[in-house]
Amino acid sequence: MLDILGTIGGNVLSLPGILGLALGMMTRRLWLGALMGGVIGVIETLIFAGWRFSNVEATELVIAIIVGVCAGSLGTAIRLKGATV
């Protein structure tokens, strides 16, 4: 359980969370922000696995993609809400 929580926390504070949020704030289309966040999640996992899919664990990849999609969507929502104020 602590391993999963550590992976989630690490991804929120790492590239999928921070860069996904920033890329999501660059667009007004929700699907594009979510897509960019998910791509960042895949790229971050591959970077730390030495660019080899054989070193990637499925749970880490899934968590990174989910965190990236959520962060990208949140970034887009922040942009949309900030634009209407």
How confident is the model over 2-49, as pLDDT tens digits? 889 998 999 899 989 999 999 999 999 999 999 999 999 999 999 999
Report the predicted TM-score, pTM, of the whole model to 2 decimal places: 0.90
Please give the pLDDT value at position 84.
72
Specify the pLDDT at position 39.
96
User: In a 3-state reduction of DSSP, which class is residue 14?
Assistant: coil
Overall number of domains in the chain: 1
How many Cα atoms within 13 Å fall on the side-chain side of residue 38? Answer: 10
> Considering the domain boundaries, does residue 7 fall inside one?
no
Please report whether residue 8 resides in a domain: no
Distance CA 31, CA 51 (A): 26
CB 65 within 8 A of CB 38: yes
pLDDT band, residue 85 (cuts 50/70/90): low
Domain extent, residue 75, equals 21-80
Six-digit token string for 51: 């660019």
The answer to whether position 55 is within a domain reads yes
Supply the pLDDT for residue 68: 95
Q: Where do the H-state alpha helices sit in the chain?
A: 2-12, 15-24, 30-48, 58-84
